[in-house]
Amino acid sequence: MPIVLSRRDAIITAFAAALASVGVADLGRFAMADEALGVDDFIALSASLTEVAPSLLERDVAVVLLGAFMAAGYGDGLKRLHADAASDVELGNAIVAAWYSGVYLTKEGEVVATFNDALVWGALDFTKPPGNCGGETGYWSEPA
């Protein structure tokens, strides 16, 4: 007897397979299970390292980045860095680079955590992420 899937079940199955293939499910598991540092603590640490207000750091991006650093085995390093920002300059620089670029490293290579919410766009106040509307036609011709 053939198995009959409803359209909804097929979509949910395809979505779950897609998530599993990119590792998003694993990132969430690492970020939530037995973490050395909570998301709020990671945001506070990131704000301190980037010298950006915590309110400007997107929580969803923080969850992804924290999960990535945890998955890479930096749990203890994050905990030490939270206690003393000078304890691991290399890890601190990696966190700052991830927030500003929106990209983090894995064993397989670079992965994009965010594009529009990368801090680089705030630092480059003369531009915006490509593809984002800046305003009405000709908005760029008038001084801000």
Q: How far is CA 16 from the centre of its chain?
A: 20
Per-residue confidence in pLDDT tens, the chain, 144 aa: 555 556 655 555 554 444 444 444 444 444 444 446 899 999 999 999 999 999 999 999 999 999 999 999 999 999 999 988 888 899 999 999 999 888 898 888 888 888 778 888 676 565 655 655 666 777 777 776
What token pair was written down for 7? 């359209």
- Give SS3 for 68: helix
Distance, in Å, from the CA atom of 75 to the CA atom of 17, rounded to the nearest integer, reads: 28
Whole-number pLDDT of residue 67: 92
Q: Which amino acid is at 46?
A: S
Rounded to whole angstroms, what are the CA distances from 80 to 15, 74, 76? 37, 10, 6
Strand partners of residue 105: 110
Q: Which pTM was predicted? A: 0.65
Distance, in Å, from the CA atom of 96 to the CA atom of 69, rounded to the nearest integer, reads: 12
Say if residues 46 and 82 touch (Cβ distance below 8 Å): no
Domain ranges of the chain: 7-141
